[in-house]
Structure 1
Amino acid sequence: MSFSILPGAWRSVFAVPSALVDSHIKLASPNQLKVLLWALRHAEETFSHEAIATALGISVSEVQDAMLYWIQVGLVAEDATKAVEPHAAPAQPIPAELPLATAPVAENTAPIPARRIPKPDGLFIAERINQSAEIRFLMQEAQQLLGRPLSPGLSSTLLAIHDDYGLPVDVTIMLLQFVKSKGKDNTSYIEAVARDWAEEGISSHLQAEEKLRRLDEINKAWRKIEQALRLSPRAPSSREERYSDRWLLEWKFSPQMVREAYDRSVDAIGKLSLSYMNKILERWHKEGITSPQQAAMEQKEKTAVQKQSKPQHTTYDIEEYERMSAEVPDLFGKE
């Protein structure tokens, strides 16, 4: 089957930048392509986001996101007198063939303003991409790693991670690989992890490797707890990760001891409670109880003491203390 262009269609034409096909046709989303083509067709007119949204049958927010993408890659310019300037001198786009093996270690950039808005906007992002080979590399790597075009919000977050949090490009890429492996590569989670890493002072490749090794150990600890408690496989919450780290890695309890604490939690309050289990395991840690046999002996001795106590005297009840101290509503899977 062959194709031909109908001559009548060429009576009205408009220009399309070569970079659209050369660098972005595979990476841009359908909405981004539609918005740019519509804007190019109406390049000599003044129009608004609302007008584009009405013409294309999409929301205004989708139009804004799409237009910010083209601003950040340098195919569209924005000014106060006209909504879109497609024929402005195009800035340098993110190169399609930038080497992927290593990030540039040095860059010649123009001075970045000392004061700017808390989250960089599309124009500022475009300037940084144009000025910095390192930032261009970060944006391209993030786009390929996540397997989708970067939204303006994510581009802004990545730039803030680099400029404000101080994470180097290679560390940020390792962070993105980590969140992608967890299936939690949304913008808010990426920023939360980056903030935690910055607060921990992770600023080198070796420190990031050690952090990832530690997180892998915690994940394996959770899997052991998951099996011991016969829970369905799922991603642990942050609280579950913290308890996994404490119980198995810090206090060195076996999964069998965690199961014993679980059984006592259910016997005492009728349901599973992280806080109640933690109180039990914390007491065992302080008292040097490390095996199910020792835990059973402790329970037997406590029961014998309670039986010997006179009815009119109130005895010290460890289970009652643990029950009162624990935050009963705090269940697995809830923060």
Structure 2
Amino acid sequence: MSYSINLGSWQSIFAVPSDVVDKHLKLAGGAQLKVLLWVLRHAGSPFEAEAVGEALNMHPADVKDAMQYWVETGLLAVSGGTFSPAQTGPGRSSREEAVPAAQPAAPQGSPVSSIAQGENRPTAVTQRASEPPKASRPLSRPQKPDSLFVVKRAQEDSDIAFLLQEAQVILGKTISNGDSATLLMLHDTDGLPVDVILMLLQYASSIGKGNMRYIEKTGIRWSDEGIDSLELAERKIRQLDQSQKAWSAVQRLLGLERRSPTAKEAQFADRWINEWRFSEDLIREAYERNVDAKGKFSFPYMNSILERWKKEGVETLEQAQNEKKPFQEAAGGEQAPSYDLEAYERSSIFDD
């Protein structure tokens, strides 16, 4: 009698290094793990980034980025376009074997020409601990750290590991190596605490701007404004919410198309609604005078009308309408006033 064992799906298996689970499972993103598993499954067969991308529904550039991640973490080594397990020599870690010494920095955004491109990527990065107290922001932003340095920081600092994990939860997606580097720079270079960065991520996500470009730009601005605590971050977010509500009100009152305001437009709206606290009736009256006098709407011109009302203590629609009466009555008398309000408002002094 002959015997056999039916292993089913276990009939075909492949090996996965224990280090993947022991050291990298916590920090590696879904894209890096998917690419690694695909590559290990097809070990011994040549492959192109395009083929891996097609199989995993990923862009080839993301495939190259994922492979570079495993090179920089020391799991794989690459030579002449061929990947192999990183060899650890006496006195050296696999990470040191896998990543060559830092080379002169290449321009950011340079294209990756092959799946092995980037093995000589610079790893040098200036740490905040060694920097002197910054008096002003440098003219050029430092180069972002590579994925090796990001992983090292996460392993050394549980707060950084928590930041990178929570960022994926808040944004609802796996963040890329570049995104992780951006978040690390907001902490290490710009000095934002982890809890402030997480609050920024939550705010950006809540207004539909969870892209890393907006997050980085806003984070740098917060750093310049000295927002380094939860209290200051909450105050800033309340201010931003009020500014957004002010713009929405002005947009509605003036019949403007729905769009994001320019910085100057947002400043005008915030000033009229939140700082000067004009009523909707006064804002509408100023708009009508603007259009009557100039034939078109102009933010600076309308601001000049409201600014004059603020200085003169005009707080109601009745006061605004009555201010013209003395001039109109005087104009019907024997002597016209030397100061013509309507002519003043028609002047071009406040044009764009």
Alignment TM-score, normalising by the size of structure 2: 0.68
Q: How far 1:302 sits from its partner (Å)?
A: 4.7
Partner of 1:202: helix, strand, or coil?
coil
- Percent sequence identity over matched residues? 38
1:56 maps onto 2:53 in alignment: yes
1:145 maps onto 2:170 in alignment: yes
Letter in 2 for 1:320: R
Q: How far 1:301 sits from its partner (Å)?
A: 4.1
Matching of residues 187-226 of structure 1 within 5 Å:
187-226=212-251
Letter in 2 for 1:287: E
CA 314–232 in structure 1, closer or farther in 2 if over 3 Å, else same:
closer
Q: 1:96 is matched with which residue?
A: none
Q: 2:16 is matched with which residue?
A: 15
Matching of residues 141-290 of structure 1 within 5 Å:
141-230=166-255, 236-290=261-315
Alpha-carbon contact 2:290-2:298 (below 8 Å) kept: yes
CA 160–85 in structure 1, closer or farther in 2 if over 3 Å, else same:
farther
Partner of 2:296: helix, strand, or coil?
coil
CA distance in 2 between counterparts of 1:309 and 1:52 reads 89
CA 69–24 in structure 1, closer or farther in 2 if over 3 Å, else same:
farther
Aligned with 1:130 (options 134, 151, 155): 155
CA distance in 1 between counterparts of 2:190 and 2:60 reads 31
Alpha-carbon contact 1:161-1:194 (below 8 Å) kept: yes
1:61-104: CA deviations, max 9, x gaps?
232343456568x585566776655667899xxxxxxxxxxxxx
Partner of 1:318: helix, strand, or coil?
helix
CA distance in 1 between counterparts of 2:326 and 2:7 reads 92
Letter in 2 for 1:257: L
Q: 1:100 is matched with which residue?
A: none
CA 154–206 in structure 1, closer or farther in 2 if over 3 Å, else same:
same
- CA-atom RMSD, angstroms? 4.0
Between structure 1 and structure 2, the one with the greater Rg is: 2
Give unmatched runs, 5+ long, in structure 1.
92-110, 328-335
CA 70–264 in structure 1, closer or farther in 2 if over 3 Å, else same:
farther
Q: How far 1:324 sits from its partner (Å)?
A: 4.1
CA distance in 2 between counterparts of 1:85 and 1:44 reads 10
Partner of 2:323: helix, strand, or coil?
helix
1:318 maps onto 2:318 in alignment: no
CA distance in 2 between counterparts of 1:42 and 1:305 reads 93
CA distance in 2 between counterparts of 1:210 and 1:86 reads 51
Alpha-carbon contact 1:260-1:292 (below 8 Å) kept: yes
Q: How far 1:185 sits from its partner (Å)?
A: 1.3
1:66 maps onto 2:92 in alignment: no
CA distance in 1 between counterparts of 2:240 and 2:128 reads 35
CA 4–296 in structure 1, closer or farther in 2 if over 3 Å, else same:
farther
CA distance in 2 between counterparts of 1:78 and 1:265 reads 69
CA distance in 2 between counterparts of 1:86 and 1:271 reads 70
Q: 1:108 is matched with which residue?
A: none
Q: 2:135 is matched with which residue?
A: none
Q: How far 1:199 sits from its partner (Å)?
A: 1.0
Q: 1:331 is matched with which residue?
A: none
CA distance in 1 between counterparts of 2:331 and 2:39 reads 82
CA distance in 2 between counterparts of 1:296 and 1:157 reads 54
1:35-64: CA deviations, max 9, x gaps?
3234324656898xxx32245346442323
Q: How far 1:254 sits from its partner (Å)?
A: 1.5
CA distance in 2 between counterparts of 1:297 and 1:234 reads 35
| Number of equivalences | 295
